Amino acid sequence: MSIQRSAICNCAALAVALFLSGCKVGPNYKTPSAAMAPSFKEEGAVAPPPSAPGVGWKHAEPGDDRIRGKWWESYGDAQLNTLEERVAVSNQSLKAALAQYTQALAAVQQYRSFYFPTLSVAPGYSRTRVSETRPLGIPTKGNPYTDLTAIGQASWEPDLWGNIRRSVQQQRANAQASAAELANVELSLRAELAMDYFELRGLDTQKQLLDDTIQQFQRYLQLTISRFHGGVATDADVAQAQTQLDQTKAQDIDVEVARAQYEHAIATLTGQPASTFSLPPAPLKLRLPAVPVGVPSEML
């Protein structure tokens, strides 16, 4: 009898231990650490000269978590500032990334709601009239009559095994990743817009130079023709002047085509129809902002 009672106690203790182990939440995730040496091993072997490559360098300190702000305003271009402001409200790629981030935040709120009880109420309404002419019908009072009903339900599932907690943590991590993706998409679009804008303004400067050159070559061609009629120049001189003028005009057309392509790209980035969007020509006359001295990794 004592042996049977002891076996029952052991089985009960084992069941309690298994239940408690099942309720235990798994360990928290920790980012694995990587060993970082303070310097390269070759630096201590032989003292290199001060002018050797790599002497005095330090490990890069990425700053991708810093807020950039409105960095394009450092160029002092009002037209560029206006275009950059339109990226946030008109670009469809940025809107899609923003929608994904909003969806991730909503998922966090959805999984957090599982912590609390669920209440539901279903009201009902019915109006019934019993026919008094039915066979073997007995007259009833209060005919027709109305029924009002309300059905309520409450449920709550305690988070004993930590499933809800882990789900909330997962959705929070997804929301953080979506926020980082949104910031990267916005930075890429704004940087692409700035590069296209300055390329366009550079083409405006080049076109202005070509237009002035075409005027000079036209006057030179007229002068060469006059010299040819005066017997001073030959027909080869006239042909050479004409060829020089035609080549410059062809370059001017190529610049116009390239400018139109950059103009269409800017229209796409700012969410405007390329067929109606236009930027007036304006040669580039900006003073470049001061760039801090550093290594390329700091610039990135």
Taking the C-alpha atoms of 137, 139, 142 and 145 in order, what is their torsion angle to the nearest 10 degrees?
A: 10
Confidence of residue 5 (pLDDT cuts 50, 70, 90): low
DSSP per-residue codes, the chain: -HHHHHHHHHHHHHHHHHHHHHHPPPPPP-PPP----SS-HHHHHS---TTSTTTT-------TTS---SGGGGG--HHHHHHHHHHHHH-HHHHHHHHHHHHHHHHHHHHHGGGS-EEEEEEEEEEE---TTSTT----SS-SEEEEEEEEEEE----SSSHHHHHHHHHHHHHHHHHHHHHHHHHHHHHHHHHHHHHHHHHHHHHHHHHHHHHHHHHHHHHHHHHHHTTSS-HHHHHHHHHHHHHHHHHHHHHHHHHHHHHHHHHHHTT--TTT---------PPPPPPPP--HHHH-
Confidence of residue 116 (pLDDT cuts 50, 70, 90): confident
* CB atoms closer than 10 angstroms to residue 31: 5
What residue ranges define each of the domains in the chain, with the CATH number in brackets?
71-114+154-299 (1.20.1600.10)
Burial grade of 75 (CB within 10 A; 0-12, 13-18, 19 or more): middle
| C-alpha separations of 31 from 34, 108, 295 in Å | 9, 22, 28
Closest CA to 72 of 198, 156, 178: 198
Q: What is the pLDDT of residue 296?
A: 61
Q: Does the pLDDT value for residue 242 go beyond 80?
A: yes
Mean pLDDT of the chain: 81
CA pair distance 276, 267, nearest whole angstrom: 9
pLDDT tens per residue, range 247-279: 999 999 999 999 999 999 999 999 889 888 999
CA pair distance 151, 153, nearest whole angstrom: 7
Sign of the alpha-carbon dihedral angle for 190, 192, 198, 200:
negative
Look up residue 86 and give its two tokens: 């339109």
pLDDT tens per residue, range 126-170: 888 777 666 665 655 556 778 888 888 888 888 777 788 888 888
Burial grade of 39 (CB within 10 A; 0-12, 13-18, 19 or more): exposed
% pLDDT > 90, the chain: 33
Q: What is the pLDDT of residue 279?
A: 92
Q: At which residue do the structure tokens 């300190």 appear? A: 61
Cβ-contact 124, 150 below 8 angstroms = yes
pLDDT tens per residue, range 72-82: 888 888 999 99
- Residues linked to residue 121 through DSSP beta bridges, in sequence order: 152
